[in-house]
């Protein structure tokens, strides 16, 4: 029903950031800044009709620039990790900035999460914020000029739709996601380990001690990564399993089951019994990375001064497999000239009866 723009401060490079608040007829709101296309807050109703902010974020642009953690941001060109910050494409080698133990994480030194995007507003019953960014050839070491458009829409049915589009003038690689951390009890409500989750995924990507894929894909059967039947996030998180100990909790890419449809499908559900809130993840991406905020930066407080605490949040990142460009058996993340990157993820909020 409305979209409002206000100032969100100046970046350290002297660029002005703006904050856009979308509101639907039910009273649900989402606030997004053009700095990184970042979801700053998302207020959804509980079983009593009370609206609470269920997304983690900060009060100022300064915190987003310095705190790390990629809270709420669009991640690109390539989310997750690339081994050695290196890949080969059509016989040519490319070297990227290594910002994670000799590897490249979430786009490199200054990824999409730290860019000011060009924003345009579409008001109406289902307000949208359209964000566009042109990533020049060889930015962060990636080939091709990539034109990216991300459209956030707050629907009349209390869903946040995120539509990712991209085109290139030279063959390149791209794997976009959103890195919002959620706690359906409210971002200041404590642990997320009592939330339950269902994920339609039958295998996971095995990683080494630095969370870099080994190339092996394993069945989730008999592992802590099996969410094919709903269970609490805390149920298996402390099991003596090497693959879960590497990340000090859940930090794993799960491969979704069956055929991947062009139309978004219901693939996962997060539920908080105390508030009654549930969030369905509807996507046409082939995988989901779940991360239970195992390493928080206690130096920087969240909105209202709430401290960063491990396992008080979960990021649910729809995407293709990490380090896919260096593993030919993984999902393809190349984008050719004339092709179009076109994926949608919908976070559908509701109350479980």
Q: What is the 3-state secondary structure (H, E, C) of 286-346?
A: CEEEEECCCCCCCCCCCHHHCCCCCCCCEEEEEECCCCHHHCCCCCCCEECCCCCEEEEEE
Name all domains of the chain by residue range, CATH numbers in brackets. Answer: 2-191+290-351 (2.70.98.10)
CB 350 within 8 A of CB 54: no
Average pLDDT, the chain: 96
User: What does the pLDDT average to over 133-150?
Assistant: 98
What is the pLDDT confidence band of residue 75, given thresholds at 50, 70 and 90?
A: very high
Residue-wise pLDDT for 183-221, tens only, equals: 999 999 999 999 999 999 999 999 999 999 999 999 999
Tokens for 251? 């930090």
Taking the C-alpha atoms of residue 328 and residue 25, their distance in angstroms, rounded to an integer, is 47
Residue 1 has pLDDT above 70, yes or no: no
Give the C-alpha separation, 108 to 111, whole Å. 6
Distances (CA, A) of 28 to 37, 45, 64, 182: 19, 7, 24, 16
Q: What value does the mean pLDDT take over residues 161-166?
A: 98
φ/ψ of residue 52, rounded to 5? -135, 145
Separation CA 167–CA 338 (nearest Å): 7
Residue scoring higher pLDDT (245 or 136)? 136
User: 119 - beta bridge partners?
Assistant: 131
Is the pLDDT reported for residue 279 higher than 90? yes
For range 244-272, the mean pLDDT: 94
Residue 177 — very low, low, confident or very high, per pLDDT cuts 50/70/90? very high
Q: Percentage of the chain with pLDDT > 70? A: 100
Q: In this prediction, what percent of the chain has a pLDDT beyond 90?
A: 94
Question: Which pLDDT band, with edges at 50, 70 and 90, does 154 fall under?
Answer: very high
Active site members: 179, 317
Confidence of residue 349 (pLDDT cuts 50, 70, 90): very high
Beta bridge partners of 6: 19
Residue ranges of alpha helices (H) inside 181-270 are 242-245
- Quick one: which of 98, 131, 93 has its CA closest to 112? 131
Mean pLDDT of 21-40: 98
Band (pLDDT 50/70/90 cuts) for residue 353 is confident
Helices (H) and strands (E) in the chain, counts: 2, 28
Q: Do residues 132 and 118 touch, judged by C-beta distance below 8 A? A: yes
Token readout for 253 is 């890419």
Sign of CA dihedral 260, 264, 266, 272: positive
42: pLDDT strictly greater than 80: yes
Segment 246-274 mean pLDDT: 94
The pLDDT value recorded for residue 259 is 81
Task: Find out whether 241 and 328 touch, Cβ atoms under 8 Å.
Answer: no
Question: What does the pLDDT read at residue 178?
Answer: 98
Q: Which pLDDT belongs to residue 171?
A: 98
Q: What is the pTM of this model?
A: 0.97
CA–CA separation, 6 and 26 (whole Å): 22
pLDDT at position 246: 87
Query: Is a pLDDT exceeding 90 seen at residue 273?
Result: yes
Q: What is the dihedral of CA 57, 63, 67, 68, to 10 degrees?
A: 60
């Amino acid at each position: 029903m409305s979209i409002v723009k206000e100032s969100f401060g100046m970046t350290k490079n002297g660029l002005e950031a703006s904050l856009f608040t979308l509101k639907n007829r039910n009273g649900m709101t989402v606030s997004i800044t053009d700095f990184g296309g970042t979801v700053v807050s998302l207020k959804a109703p509980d079983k009593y009709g009370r609206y609470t902010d269920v997304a983690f974020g900060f009060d100022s642009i300064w915190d987003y620039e310095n705190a790390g953690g990629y809270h709420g941001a669009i991640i690109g060109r390539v989310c997750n990790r690339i081994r050695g910050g290196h890949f080969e494409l059509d016989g040519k080698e490319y070297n990227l900035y290594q910002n994670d133990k000799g590897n490249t994480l979430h786009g490199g030194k200054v990824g999409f999460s730290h860019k000011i995007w060009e924003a345009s507003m579409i008001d109406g019953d289902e307000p949208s914020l359209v964000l566009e960014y042109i990533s020049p050839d060889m930015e962060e070491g990636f080939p091709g000029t990539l034109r990216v458009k991300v459209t956030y829409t707050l629907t009349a049915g209390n869903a946040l739709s995120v539509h990712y589009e991209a085109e290139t003038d030279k063959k390149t690689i791209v794997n976009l996601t959103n890195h919002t951390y959620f706690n359906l009890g409210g971002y200041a409500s404590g642990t997320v380990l009592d939330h339950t989750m269902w994920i339609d995924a039958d295998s996971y990507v095995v990683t080494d001690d630095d969370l870099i894929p080994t190339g092996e894909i394993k069945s989730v059967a008999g592992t802590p990564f099996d969410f094919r039947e709903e269970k609490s996030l805390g149920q298996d998180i402390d099991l003596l399993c090497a693959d879960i100990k590497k990340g000090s909790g859940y930090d794993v890419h799960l491969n979704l089951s069956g055929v991947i449809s062009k139309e978004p499908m219901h693939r996962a559900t997060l539920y908080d019994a105390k508030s009654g809130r549930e969030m369905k993840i509807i996507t046409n991406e082939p995988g989901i990375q779940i991360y239970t905020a195992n390493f928080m930066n206690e130096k920087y407080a969240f909105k209202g001064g709430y401290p960063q605490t491990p396992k008080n949040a979960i990021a649910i990142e729809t995407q293709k497999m990490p380090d896919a460009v260096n593993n030919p058996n993984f999902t393809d993340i190349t984008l050719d000239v004339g092709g179009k990157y076109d994926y949608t993820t919908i976070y559908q909020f509701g109350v479980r009866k």
